[in-house]
Amino acid sequence: MIKLYNTMTRRKEIFKPREGNKIKMFVCGPTVYDHSHIGHARTYISFDVIVRYLKYSGFTVFYLQNITDLDDKILKRAEEIGSSPLELARRYEEKYLQDMKVLGVENVNFYARATEHIPEIINQIKILVKKGFAYETDKGVYFDEAKFKEFGKLSNRNLEELNVHRIGPDTSKRNPGDFALWKKRKIESEELEMVWDSPWGTGRPGWHIEDTAITDTYFGPQYDIHGGGLDLIFPHHEAEIAQMEAASGKNPMVKYWMHTGFLNVKGEKMSKSLGNFITINDLLQEYSPDVFRFFVLSTHYRSPIDFSQEILHQSQQGLQRIYKLIETINELLDENTAISMENDQEYIYKLSEVRKEFFEAMDNDFNTPSAFSTIFDIIREVNRDINDSNISKNALTKLKALIIEFGIVLGFDFSLKNENEQELQEDLIELLKDVRSKLREKKEWDLSDEIRSRLKELDIVLEDKST
RNA sequence: GCCAAGGUAGCUUAGAGGCGAAGCGGUGGACUGCAGAUCCAUUACACGGGAGUUCAAAUCUCUCCCUUGGCUCCA
């Protein structure tokens, strides 16, 4: 039984899809005008694991994500660098998809581009106008917040509050907080790209409408999970609720709202002006994707997470512990080591307990830190028994399988398969190791140490066994 | 000002009324020709301050202090 925290009710709820075991899930995708940063990575890795676990738990998940490829930021950026907006958008979309692939985010079933859903967007706006929730001005078409009584229910705000702190409100709007559904083209300044014809003249959609048009297209007016970063709660998700529920007359649009916490850099929000903006590219120069994934999953998805070199290093060390154990097990299974079978039955039972704890942690709002905690608990125990030669090969095999299984759920490959391209390199290392062991037989320590230290310069670490 | 999320051992994080955690790091030891990994011990009678509820509070209530974020685009 999975419990998840619903931002709408501000509490954990028992998860039950609207229909059977089918889940319709939508997560807000990026605006493709620049490289994706590690904050994006945090969010999408979190949802990747959530989807992995939902699937693992027997649900069928359709995971939909939008790509915002029409937006003021894209136009601005395109102008700056003298590129076509659409080309720019496609370029960064491709980059985003590459980044996600490298990070092991691979569960999105469909990426829906905003520009490919213009008719659906126009149609939704038409409905809102017809039902009296939207009105046209000479600047565009706006959603009338005052008409939607429940506006603010997700972010826990009311209209008075929302209207207080807006400086210099646009007087052509009925309420200061009314947001654009359709922006009319400003004749002089704008390019001809990224404008479309509509009943309200040429122009382009507002920010919020693409998501509801897309979800309505593929899911209908009601679906199970909507996710995104914490910063999207207001105004973006609030606006989505207003649009969709007003248009369809059905409530609620979404059964469960899930939001990921921020990634900060040294306690501060990441921003270009502070100079602490780190792209996924930058990150991968120094750390492998799985170290970053481990770093992300070491904190609960809703908590803020602080990024620094030191913490990444800690993550690297922690993750190594898991890989080391698998490596040790592989060696033990390969060798003709005599290991005791005494507590075999006890182990089988123990492993089933570990599995249970792992799933309890994940069931509890996808508590990955707690899940890792159970993994480390068993690792410590097993290491002790390996040291004491008090474990059977059967138990080791089962343990290895279990950890690999956990890895699949969390998005790691703990199986350490030999890649073809690595084979030669590995053979060469074997050769050096052989030579070195002969030197060691002859107690040629200087030379054997030199081999070890020079391999270390190449990031290849040899660890001698005590025999 | 309003709304949110937080303050748990040196660092990073779980937990959410009673049996007190995990990782990283430090120190000492076992094992090693050395190093590393691993194990053991220790750092560690940890839960921001103060009141209250309770047989029992990191956990609930109140209050105060501090941090971060949102209220304009943002994952």
The pLDDT value recorded for residue A336 is: 66
* Closest nucleotide to the alpha carbon of A445, via C1': B33
Give the mean model confidence (pLDDT) for residues A144-157: 86
- Give the C-alpha separation, A233 to A219, whole Å: 21
- Give the C-alpha separation, A309 to A96, whole Å: 23
pLDDT at A149 over 80: yes
Higher-confidence residue: A434 or A165?
Answer: A434
Query: In CATH, which superfamily holds the domain spanning A3-260?
Result: HUPs (3.40.50.620)
Q: Give the distance, in angstroms, between residue A288 CA and nucleotide B25 C1'.
A: 22
Q: Give the distance, in angstroms, between residue A266 CA and nucleotide B11 C1'.
A: 13
Q: Is the CB of A451 less than 7 A from some atom of nucleic acid strand B?
A: no
pLDDT at A264 over 80: yes
Q: Is the CB of A206 less than 7 A from some atom of nucleic acid strand B?
A: no
Reply yes or no: is the peptide bond before residue A252 cis, omega within 30 of 0: yes
SS3 for A298?
coil
- Give the C-alpha separation, A464 to A367, whole Å: 37
Give the mean model confidence (pLDDT) for residues A424-429: 70
Q: Is the CB of A299 less than 7 A from some atom of nucleic acid strand B?
A: yes
pLDDT at A105 over 50: yes
Give the mean model confidence (pLDDT) for residues A319-340: 82
The pLDDT value recorded for residue A389 is: 82
Q: Is the CB of A43 less than 7 A from some atom of nucleic acid strand B?
A: yes
- Give the C-alpha separation, A388 to A382, whole Å: 10
DSSP class of A41: H
Give the mean model confidence (pLDDT) for residues A303-327: 90
Give the mean model confidence (pLDDT) for residues A222-240: 91
Higher-confidence residue: A386 or A343?
Answer: A386
DSSP class of A149: T
User: What are the residues whose beta carbons fall under 8 Å from the beta carbon of A149, sequence distance 6 or more?
Assistant: none
Give the mean model confidence (pLDDT) for residues A367-376: 94
pLDDT band at A419 (very low <50, low <70, confident <90, very high): very low
- Give the C-alpha separation, A203 to A192, whole Å: 10
**What tens digit of pLDDT does each residue of A187-212 get?**
655 556 788 999 999 999 998 999 99
DSSP A98-117: HHHHHTT-----EEEEGGGG
User: What are the residues whose beta carbons fall under 8 Å from the beta carbon of A343, sequence distance 6 or more?
Assistant: A385, A390, A391, A392, A395
A63, containing H or E segment: strand A60-67
Q: Which of residues 142-171 of A touch strand B (CB under 7 A)?
A: 155-157, 161-162, 164-166
User: Which class does domain A309-410 fall in?
Assistant: mainly alpha
pLDDT at A406 over 90: yes
Tell me the Cα Rg of chain A.
Answer: 27
* Closest nucleotide to the alpha carbon of A313, via C1': B24
Say if strands A305-307 and A254-260 run parallel, antiparallel, or are unpaired.
unpaired
- Give the C-alpha separation, A244 to A204, whole Å: 19
- Give the C-alpha separation, A146 to A124, whole Å: 19
- Give the C-alpha separation, A173 to A148, whole Å: 15
SS3 for A336?
coil
Higher-confidence residue: A344 or A423?
Answer: A344
The mean predicted confidence, pLDDT, of chain A is 87
Nearest CA to A393 among A409, A403, A382?
A382
pLDDT band at A218 (very low <50, low <70, confident <90, very high): very high
Q: Residue A307 has which token pair?
A: 């990024």
pLDDT band at A19 (very low <50, low <70, confident <90, very high): very high
Percentage with pLDDT > 90 across chain A: 51
SS3 for A301?
coil
Q: Indicate the range of A107-121, A327-341, A347-361 predicted with least confidence.
A: A327-341
- Give the C-alpha separation, A76 to A254, whole Å: 33
pLDDT band at A424 (very low <50, low <70, confident <90, very high): low
Give the mean model confidence (pLDDT) for residues A263-285: 83
Residue A333 and residue A393 in contact, taking contact as beta carbons nearer than 8 Å: yes
* Closest nucleotide to the alpha carbon of A163, via C1': B71
Beginning with the edge strand found earlier in the chain, give each strand of the sheet holding A268-269 in spatial order. Answer: A268-269, A263-265, A305-307
pLDDT at A162 over 70: no
Give the mean model confidence (pLDDT) for residues A219-234: 92
Q: Count CA atoms within 13 Å of residue A268 on its CB side.
A: 9
Q: Is the CB of A387 less than 7 A from some atom of nucleic acid strand B?
A: yes
pLDDT at A128 over 80: yes
pLDDT at A267 over 80: no
Give the mean model confidence (pLDDT) for residues A347-353: 88
Q: Is the CB of A353 less than 7 A from some atom of nucleic acid strand B?
A: no
Nearest CA to A263 among A30, A50, A37?
A37
Q: Count CA atoms within 13 Å of residue A248 on its CB side.
A: 21
Give the mean model confidence (pLDDT) for residues A58-73: 93
